[in-house]
A and B are shown apart, each in its own frame.
Chain A
Amino acid sequence: MNKKSIISDKRFILLFLAVFVVALMVYLSDYNYTPFWITFKLAFLTTTILLVISIPVSYFISYSKSKMKFLLESFVSLPIVLPPTVLGYYFIVALGPRSSVGRFLEDNLGLSLIFSFEGILLGSIIYCLPFMVYPIVNGFRNLPRSMIESAQLLGKSKRNILWHVIIPNNRGAIASGVLLSFAHTIGEFGVVLMIGGNIPETRVASIAIYDEMNQMNYESADHLALVLLAFSFILIVAIHFIRNTKKKNFA
């Protein structure tokens, strides 16, 4: 891999400029942009928290010799096949006001996870977990084993090897996971609707489009959908651009 990071690539910066322009379009338009603000806040926080969680989870899945790791892999993969309504239902059952955990959180921290931004954030994190973890796991597994052995032979600790060898040589995989999680959160509908309901505090762009459609405000729905389409398309282009960037040369 070239010593230049992916972030320093000019084409990559152009893609992000395009995303910025779309965001600016939304900001300057006459339409109510609150759903976009909530969507981006949700996507940004989900991605950031997922990144912190996914690095150790991916490391464990990639390198652990534990025979039980298939259980963790299965848990991480579950949202890929699970209908959002099922996840939302169990979320409400486990963390809703009638559950002991929900009551505990409400009584002691004043935190309600149903019909709140915190709730849809937690739901998004669980639902997007495989979209962040698996690109990173694939990257970690593709790193030659002998490269990690080289670092071990130089007397380096596991943590040191993770920070200085594994992560820097997987910037592409990590960037891919970040963009995929961000894009997936932007397009989220079912989980947000189940956990957050349809109230202004949790109304993300995809739900706002659904709302405008139901109220036959086609012009407004049109505008919201176009921005979401443009934004999602740019993110997907960025993901494929990273994947097609020339293969790393593991010298």
Chain B
Amino acid sequence: MLKVDVHKKFISKRRNAEVSFTYDFPSEGIIGVYGASGIGKSTALRMIAGLTKPDKGAVLFNEQTWFDHKTYKNLAVAERKVGYVFQDYNLFPNMTVHENLIYAAPSGIITPEISELSEAMQLDELLENVPEELSGGQRQRIAIIRSLASQPNLLLLDEPFSALDDDAIENIITELKRIKLNKGMLTIMVSHRRDVLAALCDQILHYNGQGELVSYTPQQMKNKGFEIFN
């Protein structure tokens, strides 16, 4: 179970902003977070992963404290074992696809499960290629497999499809559904695309940036279309 209660203020000359995110996530399933662009969805995800330090609040994962401002506890990013997929892939350009996967795998050993996944996502033929030789869709597939190869406790997807065209998104979603992405693990996906969230998630949270989260099922989203967000 992941308990998140994080707050951060951004103060600049032109604009002040505050991001507050409070929610108790279940221990498994794919949870979508929907909200307008620039509202702080990605910042909330970064605070969970430890990439951005919250001003106050706490993050608890399975009884382990990852962050607590009262006790000054802030577990290092590397120790949280979080799988994180960025919008812009972030594959290592100096490594082939295979080397990227080996680098991510603990002790450099790719499990049979990951080999099966890369086969299922048609990445076998690309293993000896370097990232710059691949399309955006292929890179994002590899980024997802790479994050799983690290055997994470929790998977965070930060706008994973926003740089891709609709055909590529559809293909990846079909593949992700087939391989059962979460496999008993909690996955949180942030997106501004309602259709993508409805297609992949078990539950969708509408986030307004001020900590208020309203929960919907994918069916509710499909039935009501855009109205539920108005």
Q: Which of B79, B83, B104 has the most CB of A within 10 A?
A: B104
Residues of A within 8 A of B83 (CB): 153
Identify A169's interface contact among B77, B79, B93, B139, CB under 8 A.
B93
Q: Does A215 contact B (CB under 8 A)?
A: no
Q: Does A244 contact B (CB under 8 A)?
A: no
Give the total of B residues in contact with A, Cβ under 8 Å: 31
A164 to B93, CA, bound (A): 11
Contact B150 A154 (CB under 8 A): yes
Give the number of A-B contacts (CB < 8 Å): 74
Give the total of A residues in contact with B, Cβ under 8 Å: 23
Contact B81 A2 (CB under 8 A): no
Given A149-B51, A149-B77, A153-B49, answer yes or no on A2-B90 (Cβ-Cβ < 8 Å).
no
Contact B132 A1 (CB under 8 A): yes
Contact B84 A150 (CB under 8 A): yes
Residue of A nearest to B106 (CB): A155
Residue of B nearest to A171 (CB): B94
Q: Does A69 contact B (CB under 8 A)?
A: no
Residues of B within 8 A of A67 (CB): none
Residues of A within 8 A of B51 (CB): 149, 152-153
Of residues 152 to 185 in A, which have CB atoms within 8 Å of B's CB atoms?
Answer: 152-157, 164-165, 168-169
A sample of 8 more A-B contacts (CB under 8 A), given A154-B146, A164-B92, is A2-B132, A144-B90, A146-B86, A150-B90, A152-B76, A153-B147, A155-B150, A250-B93
Q: What are 8 A-B contacts with C-beta separation under 8 Å?
A: A3-B96, A149-B84, A150-B84, A150-B92, A153-B77, A165-B92, A169-B92, A249-B132
Partner-A contacts on B (CB < 8 A)? 49, 51, 76-79, 81-84, 86, 88-96, 103-104, 106, 130-132, 134, 139, 146-147, 150
